[in-house]
Amino acid sequence: MTAYDDNNLFARILRGEIPCSKVHETDHALAFRDINPQAPIHVLVIPKGPYVSWDDFAANAPPAAQAGYVAAIGETAKLLGVDATGYRLITNHGDDAQQEVMHLHVHILAGARLGPMVAGGLQPQT
Ligand code: AMP
């Protein structure tokens, strides 16, 4: 697994070295608007701990950090007012998912009918 780099973009946002458009913050997580939105509402939720991706977080984060992160994602959706209308959560891990920033983030996408889950669809594995 890729080692965590303390100077990745989202680590720098967490330290306040790079600004963000904050939506929500808890002891465990920070939520802010994606700089290149792919839907009318596009917010990223990141844990405060140093985890490269979901794979790392699921294996290595303490239960309290995992619970706090999951709760913060739900709270963020409610604050955005999309819990009634619906939203999609996406997290990319590794090469095939084309993860760009190596600090775990869950995308909250909402505010419109979101279309197919994967662009263009892909052939199922046989
Ligand atoms: P991923 O491809 O899942 O790693 O997603 C990385 C996301 O980070 C992309 O949706 C980018 O638009 C977003 N992003 C990159 N730089 C920033 C930034 N400075 N502030 C907010 N979002 C960013």
Q: How far is the CA of 6 from the centre of ligand 1 (A)?
A: 16
Answer yes or no: pTM beyond 0.95: yes
Question: Sorting pLDDT into bands at 50, 70 and 90, what band is 122?
Answer: confident
Q: Say yes or no: CB of residue 92 within 6 Å of ligand 1.
A: yes
**Average predicted confidence (pLDDT) for the chain:** 96
> For 70-110, what is each residue's pLDDT tens digit?
999 999 999 999 999 999 999 999 999 999 999 999 999 99
Every domain of the chain and the residues it spans:
9-110
User: Is residue 1 pLDDT above 80, yes or no?
Assistant: no
Q: Tell me the CATH class for 9-110.
A: alpha beta
Categorize the per-residue pLDDT at 125 as very low, low, confident or very high, splitting at 50, 70 and 90. Answer: confident
100 lines ligand 1 (CB under 6 A): yes
Give residue 86's region: left, alpha or beta (phi > 0; psi -120 to 50). left
User: What is the CA(126)–ligand 1 centre distance, in A?
Assistant: 33
Q: Which whole-number Å values give the CA distances from 121 to 28, 42, 79, 98, 107, in the listed order? A: 35, 21, 31, 16, 20
State in Å: Cα 63 to ligand 1 middle: 26
- Tell me the average pLDDT across 20-35: 98
Q: Calculate the alpha carbon distances from 126 to 28, 98, 118, 123 in Å.
A: 40, 23, 18, 9
Cite the active site residues.
105
